[in-house]
Amino acid sequence: MKKMLFILVSMLCLLLSAGCGSDKQAAQAPAADKVLRVATSPASPPFELYLKEQNKFTGFDIDLINDVAKKMGYDKVEFINTPFDELLPGLNQKKYDIAMNNFSKTKARSIDYAASDSYAKAALSLLPKKAANLKQTSTA
């Protein structure tokens, strides 16, 4: 998945746009208010998962964005549980700072969005029952 570049470039854009405010505004905002708002559709373990009983987001992507946000100087990451088909429209409407999920990098998306390089390689497979007697062929 090519989420990392998407995340990193989105964060870079946030930093650049944050630097465009007036000095008076920056002086008034306390450091504790530096919150990165991240939307995700947490239904892809081990990458994103929402533990309802604990009211907690967990997974590789969650740990990754928490570390990246910390290195960027954010004090907190606020995760917003969002249906997958609403992630990019919500980003367009500035409901949150970053949309993070199992996005594929496409030419169409690259027009409007930045994307990370892949940091995980997924191989899709079909899993029929053995009784289906399907012939196995190699694509290699």
Model-level pTM? Answer: 0.64
pLDDT confidence of residue 80: 97
Q: To the nearest whole percent, how much of the chain has pLDDT over 90? A: 45
By the 8 A CB rule, do 88 and 39 touch? no
pLDDT confidence of residue 63: 96
By the 8 A CB rule, do 79 and 38 touch? yes
